[in-house]
Structure 1
């Protein structure tokens, strides 16, 4: 017999607190001890969806701003293997889905090197915990440079032609349009390349959703 949701959540929190005694942890957002995510930093993950439009016209909805505690939590989840943080991040992501859109969620794929290093695919994990069934339609076709080291124009060139659709998955996806899912949008180059690959395969892309978006430096920018 399943536990009531409130009791289950309380039990889960109690188990985490007990483990923190044996294996000390600190808050991913502010480093306060004995908590994976303190209540103050948990509140920083309350979604406040924003919308930006990329040069191709692709609409990107993001749940959080990639700065402060939210950025630290997302980095801890992606780079430090702190997978329990996926649940609050997924709750934020769920709020970014475009209202009234019936589409298949397609995660932006991780490179093989990233999968080997982490042991899991962050975007697929938060997608599932958001209550969606991810459709891995895309694959990485070649090695690319680390996007974090590149300027805006270099990012687009680095990713050009780097993604393609998996033919077998395409046949299973049906005729529904798709919505891309990623963790962070910066210049939008990755999402633009993913949308290009899907459209080249004849699919309709209805937009994209991300956990977070980096702050735009200028109001006139459409994709930063």
Structure 2
């Protein structure tokens, strides 16, 4: 009966694998295996260490796009599980980088905050957008840094040990400004964790 119900629902609400388009499954076994964490580390300017669970390519990139652009929020669970493998910090709280107001209106949810929750991390909403930044896509590294400069403010956090959380790191402009805001508020920023790292060959320098 359970199988019959699944088949009936598939007719009314068709679904497909976010990684490979196999029908009647939101994430097939092969693509789920492709989301097994393979943590990588990168140091941004001013010695901010970023630990990422996956590379932003192939199946992982398609699944993240399905989460963010198609609203397939169930995919946050396997992505969050992968992100948890990149968390190595004791006695620290996770601070998600907030989504822009435009993204929230378009999607109806904050992707990074959802990923943080699905990773099972203790969370503090300390960051607040200070102004509207332009879309980062298509900008050079220098343009991204200028675009994000002063983009965030933080609530008072004197002496609080925090780790920044974001979905993807490319040039690191967003994370660096978020760290600046948290430090200005008195927080101790230990590093950053992201679901994915954009491979170097794709970064816009």
- TM-score category of the 2 structures, normalised to the smaller one: over 0.9
Give the 4+ runs in structure 1 shifted more than 6 A: 13-17
The answer as to whether partners of 1:102 and 1:176 remain within 8 angstroms in 2 is no
Output the TM-score relative to the length of structure 2.
0.92
Output the TM-score relative to the length of structure 1.
0.85
Q: 1:31 to 1:135 in 2, by over 3 A?
A: same
**Equivalent of residue 107 in structure 1, options 85, 96, 100:** 96
5+ residue gaps, structure 2: none
State how far apart, in whole Å, the 2-side matches of 1:162 and 1:15 are: 48
**Equivalent of residue 73 in structure 2, options 63, 83, 95:** 83
Cα shift at 1:17: 6.4
**SS of alignment partner, residue 164 of structure 1:** strand
Q: 2:195: which partner in 1?
A: 211
The answer as to whether partners of 1:17 and 1:35 remain within 8 angstroms in 2 is no
Cα shift at 1:217: 2.5
**Equivalent of residue 149 in structure 2, options 139, 160, 183:** 160
CA RMSD of aligned residues (A): 2.2
Cα shift at 1:87: 0.5
State how far apart, in whole Å, the 1-side matches of 2:18 and 2:69 are: 12
Q: 2:164: which partner in 1?
A: 180
Aligned residues: 204
State how far apart, in whole Å, the 2-side matches of 1:14 and 1:190 are: 47
Alignment of 1:137-148 (within 5 A): 137-148=126-137
Q: 1:7: which partner in 2?
A: none
